[in-house]
Chain A
Amino acid sequence: MIGALLLAQTIAVTGGTVYPVSGPKIANGTVLIRDGNIAAVGANVTIPSGATRIDATGKWVTPGLIDGGGQMGLVEINAVRGTREGALASDTVAAAFNVAEGINPASALIPVTRIEGITTALAAPDGHLISGQAVLIDLDGATIEQMVVKSPVAIVARLNEDVKDEAGGSRAGVAQRLRRVFGDALEYGRRKGDYGRAQMQPLAAPAADLEALLPVLRGELPLIAVANRKSDIETALRIGREYKLKLILAGAAEGWEIADEVARAGVPVLVEPMDNIPSYDALGIRYENAALLAKAGVKVVLMETDTHNARNLRQQAGNAVSYGMTWDQALRAVTLSAAEAFGVADRYGSLEPGKVGDVVVWSGDPFEFTSAAEHVLIRGKEVPLRSRQTELFERYKKLPPDY
């Protein structure tokens, strides 16, 4: 009941410089939010009487930022197994594993993250050849249902060196294994009756996992392919063409080397800009990856995969700018491009009438360390700027503490 009452509010964010992302910035603009959604955006918006006003004079107003990676809600303490929900222990092909019911709405990470302006995040499964189904969540809500924006957003597959051992120890084995799984899924889809009568050869994965892959193979649900080495990216693109997949690349550390090819394929790429430590999986890794991909016309989505510090998505974006992205590209990469890649651009990613009221008022440039999120609205409701960390600070700002 309380939630419903709050949602019924009308909020007007006034006087700020508004960055709708979908269009040019608006000086002294207003963002009107009603019943959880954006009702109007512009320089001349009539504010209904009774609307709650947030004075954003001198401030920057953007859509809530979207982290295109990580495991928000799926991990509380990395080293404590009982608090990790993001990977199935045994299944090499875990296509039917949807992480949504593993999400903990009470996770301490959620307030820590959202009070810094990240309002939406991918919760992605980890490990194995096919990790499972990723979901997109808003960082507010008492229940999983209230948090989920879209489920599933995509199925995650891996073509990097981490999973080779699950395919016999060779990159070629990974590719062949994926093809066999996709082929069997198609065969299963065509002959479900035979399967039911046990008149088929043994398949490459359990029926539930093959069934889960059918939307991917129909090109309806994206496949997020984690690949870093240039040749692995090319393999992902090749398999994508063979099966007419709707592909999203993740990592893509050496993507800059074939940026034009990635652009021609029309495949969005999830990039972590500050990642530049070479390994045999990506000797060509470099800071400029996001910028070079964007310059080639690739739809770049930024991510911070350290879930505890998903708030550093802002720093990732700032560094992407430092190494060649335009500021506008970077803002798009943490808002609208993410929404587009994840298939929710009709509701998320920009400040436009009809979209969900995820809005942040910043003291300045959201990518700068000087700036802070001063107001965070999720689904049209202002969230308190409190977290377990702000409470620890309050307790210990004067010593000894008052227990």
Chain B
Amino acid sequence: MRSTPHLLLALSSACASAGGRATSKAAAPPVTAAESLSVSRAQYPSTYRRHPYPPVVIRNATIMTATGREIPNGAISFKDGRILAVGEGAAVTAPAGAVIVDGAGKYVTPGLIDTHSHLGVYAAPGTDAESDGNELTSPVTSEVWAEHSFWPQDPQIPLAIAGGITTIEALPGSGNLIGGRSAVLKLVPARTVQDMKFPGARYGLKMACGENPKRVYGQRHQAPSTRMGNMAGYRSAFAQAEAYRRKWDAWNRDHKGEPPERNLRLETLAEVLRGNMYVQIHCYRADEMAQMLDLAREFGFKVRSFHHAVESYKIADLLAHDSTSVSVWADWWGFKEEAMDGIQQNAALNQQAGGRPAIHSDSPSGIQRLNQEAAKAMYAGQRSGIPITRDQALRWITANPAWVLGLDSVVGTLEPGKMADLVVWSGDPFSVYAKAVQVYNDGWLVYDRSDPAHQPRTDFELGQ
């Protein structure tokens, strides 16, 4: 029941995360000088608005809440984008004017969340013209923002929606040590990316370990060309950001003299150091993840999630102890050397160690079947004697990715007060034969497999 107020709270913290003015402005008298600065204005704010839709009650369905409960013959009601009630059929009353959906034989889950997507930044049809995900002109490009590349007419977006995805983190690519800011987006048809930006969501910082950055720059005979060069690159950048942050924090405190010059590259890193952004690191090898945890300790930030993390099972205890999540595939492996040790029990072993695994896609194809990927990972664990529950596996694609994005109090489970992001499946979502038949995003029926009027198409697809 903390929905709306909490959202607003989160929103204000996101505003504070912009630019260099992260500290409290309460005590600073010469407000006008500060307010005249670009950094003090709203930084590319969300213009997301909930689509109006009548209240809905889904009855006679199996409700998988991702809170530990799977309710056979259950019901769920929602109105104005908020879940009202979840429970046994009789316990859920229909709000006035509700659309009644018969969910007999069907399953309902929270909307699926992908912590790692390049939708919009590597849009289809996949020509050079849509290749906007990697700013490969410098190994540290913390000044770039994925949202500034994001194309809302990417025809891959409706495909992902039809797979039950309601929220994504769209990330810059992994060619750079520090690739830029991620965008956390509601996956809805929209004219602008601002209309998709998840209200209140913090930015993520995309970083990358290992082969990619050292290959990209090593081939040009630039730094980094080695893994030790990678580490030096992160450390140099954060060391500069530390000084930058100090300067701005001092000026924000007393507004004495000229404001420091804005440096967009360091501004983003300073926000990380202030704890206002989530660090999301592409990293495959266990030993490198341990290095990155040390880096985070050196500069006083937390790693929110290691992405891909194919060897995370080797250090699952260390990661769980550090409260660092992993965003992993069910079974990808072998496409490069640092991916050679991928195993299907990766998510399950992290769960067993007390960690917080998420199943991510990193793929416009895989994002359409995140439920199937979770199923593969769950059964692989179970077959190996790791007692993964259905609820835990569901959380791999709902509540845990919500936590990775800092949105776990808003989305990711089916609970009263949460945002009405949910999927109606034709059958058990862990079956290969199940398909999303309805997808609600913030209470809006954004996709209905049986109704062409609710099957969004991008401009790109028209006339083909």
Contacts and interface: CB of A to CB of B under 8 A. Distances in A.
Contacts of A308: 332-335
Contact size range, A: 35 or more
A322 B432 contact: yes
B349 A367 contact: no
B426 to A, nearest CB: 9
Interface string B204-245: 000000010000000000000000000000000000000000
A276 B156 CA distance: 9
Contacts of B349: 393, 396-397
B124 A369 contact: no
B336 interface: yes
A372 interface: yes
A392 interface: yes
A372 B433 CA distance: 17
Contacts of B432: 315, 318-319, 321-322, 367-369
Contact of B364 (A80, A277, A319, A393): A277
Contacts of B336: 77-80
Contact of A370 (B127, B365, B379): B379
B431 interface: yes
Interface string A241-276: 000000000000000000000000000000000111
Interface in B56-93: none
Given A319-B432, A322-B435, A280 B125 contact: yes
Interface stretch (B37-45, B288-296, B339-347): B339-347
Interface string B117-135: 0000000111100000000
A277 B159 CA distance: 9
Nearest to A370: B379
Contact of B343 (A109, A312, A389): A389
A109 B331 CA distance: 13
Contact of A276 (B125, B159, B332, B433): B159
B444 interface: no
Given A315-B372, A322-B432, A399-B317, A274 B211 contact: no
Contacts of A278: 124-125, 155, 460-461
A389 to B, nearest CB: 5
A309 interface: yes
A274 B369 contact: yes
Given A79-B211, A318-B433, A369 B337 contact: no
Interface residues of B, number: 49
A319 B364 CA distance: 16
Given A278-B124, A399-B316, A369 B341 contact: no
A283 interface: yes
B248 interface: no
Interface in B419-457: 430-435
Contacts of B431: 368-369
B54 to A, nearest CB: 30
Nearest to B375: A369
B304 interface: no
B315 to A, nearest CB: 8
Contacts of B364: 277
Contact of B353 (A77, A322, A399): A399
B125 A279 contact: yes
Given A369-B375, A372-B383, A276 B337 contact: no
Contacts of A311: 331
A55 to B, nearest CB: 19
Given A274-B365, A278-B155, A79 B337 contact: yes
B151 interface: no
Contacts of B379: 369-370, 372
Given A284-B464, A322-B433, A399-B316, A279 B124 contact: yes
A401 interface: yes
Contacts of B335: 77-79, 308
A318 B341 CA distance: 27
Contacts of B433: 318, 321-322, 368
Given A79-B336, A318-B433, A389 B126 contact: no
Interface of A: 76-80, 108-109, 274-280, 283-284, 308-309, 311-312, 315, 318-319, 321-322, 367-370, 372, 389, 392-393, 396-397, 399-401
Complex A-B, nearest 5 residue pairs according to Cβ-Cβ distance, in ascending order: A318-B432, A79-B336, A308-B334, A369-B375, A78-B335
25 contacts: A76-B334, A77-B335, A77-B340, A79-B335, A80-B337, A274-B365, A276-B159, A277-B124, A279-B124, A284-B464, A315-B372, A315-B432, A318-B433, A322-B435, A367-B432, A368-B432, A368-B433, A369-B430, A370-B379, A389-B344, A392-B343, A397-B384, A397-B386, A399-B317, A399-B353
